Amino acid sequence: MSLLLSHGYFLKDDPKELRIMRPYPPLGILYISAYLKSKGFEIQVFDSTFQTRQAFRDRLSEAQPQVVGLYCNLMTKLIVLEMIQEAKAVGATVIVGGPEPPHYAEEFLRHGADVVVIGEGEQTLEALLPALREQGVKNLGDIEGIAYKNNQGDMVRTPDRPYIKEVHTLPAPDRSAIDIRQYLDAWKTHHGSSSISIITARGCPYKCTWCSHTVFGESHRRRTPELIVDEIEQLIETYHPDTLWFADDVFTISHRWLYRFAEEMKARGLHVPFECISRADRLNEKVIRTLAELGCIRIWLGSESGSQRILDAMRRDVTVECIREMTALAQQYGIQVGLFVMLGYDGEEVSDIEETVAHLKRTAPDTFLTTVSYPIKGTPYYREIESHIIDRLPWDTRTERDLSIGGRHSYRFYRYANRWMVHDVAFHKAWHGPERDYTKAAKAFVNARIGRWGMRLTSRKRER
């Protein structure tokens, strides 16, 4: 059966991302494309990132695929629901997968999807596509890792499919199926250097309460260093990127793997600037020195809060002091550090936010990004606060980011808190940094005061 793979991210419909302009190819569906092609299936890919909604409809009309597979996450859910209907309009069987559909399988089936893939897609689709051709969409009980509706209209969820243990047996992503040059050009135009993404592993064994493990689970399965260096060589020869982005959840989780990877890169004479994500507790001086020698220009760490009480509630298994120490050590080796910070976690008080601001001033990361926590279905955090979740909108018109949490401060409060945090840290840096900038300090001071004032003004109002 002919399969058209796509995803619901249309850059032109996202003003915020258009300003940021840091797009990366959809590696998930490119892995699936490569795997299914290696098994002899007829696969096409519609990469929506730089396309329009009309272009997707035109592609459906022209290609008339028998099956359409759509990757869906929280951010793309509402668009994917519309794409399902557009695919059904040309007579296609629709399969949805990714982190969002499994926990809302009945809703996705009710809104037109024929099958929901739960977990990794490669082997499931390899078994599912022939079954659809031979058995139709109502008799799929022997296919592991899916949800569908039987002849009686009842949803059936089959047993979970085991994760792919030997991930090094999978072919590299099918980057030739899309126009990678568009991504490189977007980066070059807006940031002066091009970047391309690569994944070395699947899964994360850590148990942070708010993090979703829906697709790859709490396992950790890594491709061999030799295969990764093969892929890097191919990327350099084919696309000539200025930098790489290692999109792993925790790039330095295995020190032995990292050292083997470094040896293989050195043996082949490769040195490419790159960014990655890690955890402070998976860093030490040898690891940081190895990253610097490999070409790491920036490492992102999950700080989340400057309050140890909140970190412990999140089950982060890391200390505030460790984050500070590893940030300073990385900077000593010439590696910039970015921190992820989360506001609004259950139980957080103003005093915890104050601790986070003080932590950021003391730690002095090169940059930090903030978000307000939201409950993702299937996570421990969601289960812990489920009785307090306020759902004011129909499921097909909202995402988890639209949910309110009873008893928590309003989103307006957190907008002010974020303003205070960002500008108070900026003021501290401009006033106390090695090169004082009085103009920046003055602007930051005013914005910080507005944020702090706004917090006080809105702190009495809680969600209900």
The CATH number covering residue 43 comes to: 3.40.50.280
Whether 90 and 221 map to the same domain: the answer is no
Comparing CA positions, the residue from 42, 50, 40 lying closest to residue 7 is 50
Whether 205 and 142 map to the same domain: the answer is no
Q: How far apart are CA 413 and CA 400, in angstroms?
A: 19
Is pLDDT of 1 > 80?
no
Residue 397 lies in a domain: no
Whether 143 and 197 map to the same domain: the answer is no
Whether 191 and 125 map to the same domain: the answer is no
Strand ranges inside 128-187, DSSP E: 146-149, 155-157
The model's confidence at residue 381, banded by pLDDT at 50, 70 and 90, is very high
DSSP H helical ranges for 278-317: 285-294, 308-313
Whether 300 and 232 map to the same domain: the answer is yes
Average pLDDT over residues 232-259: 97
Question: What whole-number percentage of the chain has pLDDT above 70?
Answer: 100
Residue 139's pLDDT is 94
Residue 334's pLDDT is 98
Residues 6+ apart with CB under 8 A from 333: 288, 289, 291, 292
Residue 460's pLDDT is 84
The model's confidence at residue 199, banded by pLDDT at 50, 70 and 90, is very high
Is pLDDT of 17 > 90?
no
Is pLDDT of 161 > 90?
yes
Residue 462's pLDDT is 85
Residue 464's pLDDT is 74
Residue 419's pLDDT is 97
Average pLDDT over residues 92-114: 97
The model's confidence at residue 423, banded by pLDDT at 50, 70 and 90, is very high
Residue 395 lies in a domain: no
Residue 463's pLDDT is 81
Instruction: Tell me the pTM.
Output: 0.95
